[in-house]
Chains A and B, each alone.
Chain A
Amino acid sequence: MSKFRNIASIIALLPMIIISLTVFIGCIIYSFIYSLTNSKLIPVTNFVGFDQYQRLFKQRKWDVAVENIFIYGFVFTIGCLIIGFLLAVLIDQKIRGESLFRTIFLYPYAMSFVVTGLVWKWVLNPTFGLENSMHMWGFGWFELDWLVNRDLAIYAVCIAAVWQGAGFVMVLMLAGLRGIDEDIWKSLSIEGVAKWKSYLFVILPMLRPMVVTAIVLIAAGVVKVYDLILALTSGGPGYATTTPAMYVMENFFQRANLGQAFAASIIMFISVVCILAPWAFYEFYLRNKNAAN
């Protein structure tokens, strides 16, 4: 009986499988082939070997982009998880007006990254943003020039991103917390375990599926971050906040440098596979196997 159900589901999934194979795999192969050419405005099959890759790795801008994506990925993921979890725990304390707070914290997530970017651009702008307001209220010492400081600008991007993403993680975690059996709480209080300890060492490990889901969703957003930075800093000052995705888009559309864009996107793809493969192997294969045993 279960076999039949499987066949039915496979048939139902068939269109999806075909589309993913042709669109995703096909496009990856296409990108790779054309990354070996010197295509400029339109794809041409004038093969130049790995020249585009060589050129890519010589670019100061690409180095900056790669560094930025690691900083952004790390700060954004950790920031969202910590703040999201803390918010969830606080809301879980059976507070008054819970749904109001939930709405407030989740609200940023309903906005597009472009809106988030523009809002924070104005808040963080030193000449008419928060810094200026503080000066006008008499706090002359106040300084907030992250957005125009090339060393800190990428962290300003992270702030905006965490502000938007934390609420979403909170909702996921809250759903997990609500699923925790009351009996566990009862036994924890009988044992006299401190509340923060129960959250950190008992409840959090039980939320593992939620954490994994959150990380996967956040990580997918990290790799493709583009619109937020475009709206917030447009990659500036200089190219201090540029990212690999921006580098690819720029070469595709502004710079009429298709070969270079394909090469950069293939490198992005390979790095994502390198990072995800061991983890995916563990999470979806080894664990299932262990569970089956």
Chain B
Amino acid sequence: MKKFFSIFLTLFLPLSFTNVSKAAGHMEAEVIHWWTSGGEQAAISQFAEAWQEMGNTWIDTAITGGDNARGTTVNRIIGGNPPTAAQFNISKQFVDLVEQGLLQSLEEVASAEGWRDFIYPPELIETCEFEGEFYCVPVNIHSWQWMWINNDVYKQVGLPVPQTFEEFLAGAPKIQEAGIIPLALGGQTWQESGMFGVVSSSILGFPHMQKIFRDKDVDTLRDGRFADVLNTYRELNAFTDEGSPGRLWNDTTAMVIEGKAAMQVMGDWARGEFAVAGKEAMVDYSCIIPGKEKYVALGGDVFVFPKNDDPKVKDVQLAMASMMVNPTVQAKFNNAKGSLPMRLDVDTSAADACMQMGLDLIQNPDAIMRESDDWNTPAFTNAWDDIISEFRNDPNYTVAQVMDDLEGVLTSGL
């Protein structure tokens, strides 16, 4: 009976999903990803459901932590048992795999469906394209460039909600006097360096950042403005609490939600925490893109499709890639994930005030900011982040020393 039912599903369900092409035959796909929290699970299951509606089987291999998941993927590729699809970030993380010819080219479906015409912003194409062929599918855009602010705290002390880090610093002592932690920051390297990235880009602007991280221009690093950033960062850190080291990002967000802290700098995934707590955007909390020039950072996720000895797998992979960029699937997925879609023709009517802000901003090409890991290897960005984290935690590590060490990383050729 069970078998009959599954045959029934296989035969008839594809018909109900006419938007997605290539629904021929039953296909089985194993997908490695690291989306394990509540909101993330809801998002990936949108992909899984769409895939199953096409009459296929989705084998979910969720692995906690991006590092672990990527490590598993690489191990399995090298071990000769690759998954059908695997998650990476919009970055240089998977370049080695492409260069070693371990990934399936998606060019066939990309040119047939005209991916180059609808993927937006076009920087995403650059991430996925190697020698004129597509090797990854961008699925969403996540931006780090946000300050999350508890409005009640600012009402309580009688200050307006700050729009820049300077304004925040000006009001911070007053918040501290009221017995509230001005800045909630989780003391893990990625959170520390993530906030540093937001501080530096909001002060320096994207062109300046690009000169440093893409062109590795030492003179730009040395022109004095970067030292200002370091000083601002140190000033900000004076307003964190001593419980910071090792604290998880969502525990830190909870401090802002509960009004124990006034502000957190965190990516747009923090919005999910506010939503789960029943808080309303711009009423209970503010989401601010700090700085005079406002940017959307181009972070996010891609899926790659490792080559497989079995030639049939290629069709499965192309079908899945096509499914992931489908506008209907994109709308469902990104609404669940709280991220921005990778194309503009997607229904985003469910977006809240914060997400709408991001959607408006991303339409302006000048407001799109690429991040260091878009140009640099993980070895480079991690060496850089180590220095930032150490700068935050070691008061004896002077700005001059940090500048020397940062220059060392910049010129290391990592």
Contacts and interface: CB of A to CB of B under 8 A. Distances in A.
Interface string A98-131: 0000000000000000000000010001111000
Residue in A60, A121, A238 whose Cβ sees the most chain B Cβ within 10 Å: A238
> Which 3 pairs between the two chains have the least Cβ-Cβ distance?
A238-B393, A127-B243, A41-B96
B328 interface: no
A234 interface: yes
Interface of A: 40-44, 55, 58, 60-61, 121, 125-128, 145, 147-148, 150, 153, 233-234, 236-240, 250-257, 260
Contacts of B405: 60
B71 interface: yes
A255 B243 contact: no
A199 to B, nearest CB: 41
Contacts of B78: 42-43
Given A60-B405, A126-B243, A255 B68 contact: no
Interface of B: 67-68, 70-71, 74, 77-78, 93-97, 100, 102, 187-189, 241-246, 377-379, 382, 386, 389-390, 392-394, 405, 408, 412
30 contacts: A40-B377, A41-B93, A41-B96, A42-B74, A42-B78, A42-B100, A42-B102, A60-B386, A121-B246, A125-B243, A127-B243, A145-B242, A147-B246, A148-B243, A148-B244, A150-B393, A233-B246, A236-B389, A237-B393, A238-B389, A239-B390, A240-B393, A252-B71, A253-B68, A254-B382, A256-B96, A256-B378, A256-B379, A257-B378, A257-B382
Contacts of A251: 379
A265 B95 CA distance: 25
B97 to A, nearest CB: 7
Given A60-B405, A237-B187, A239-B390, A40 B246 contact: no
Residue in A150, A252, A254 whose Cβ sees the most chain B Cβ within 10 Å: A254
Contact of B97 (A42, A150, A252): A42
A129 to B, nearest CB: 9
B241 A236 contact: no
A238 B188 contact: no
A150 B394 contact: yes
Nearest to A126: B242
Given A253-B68, A260-B379, A127 B97 contact: no
Contact of A40 (B96, B187, B241, B243): B96
Contacts of A44: 96, 100
A236 B379 contact: no
Nearest to B260: A127
A41 B78 CA distance: 11
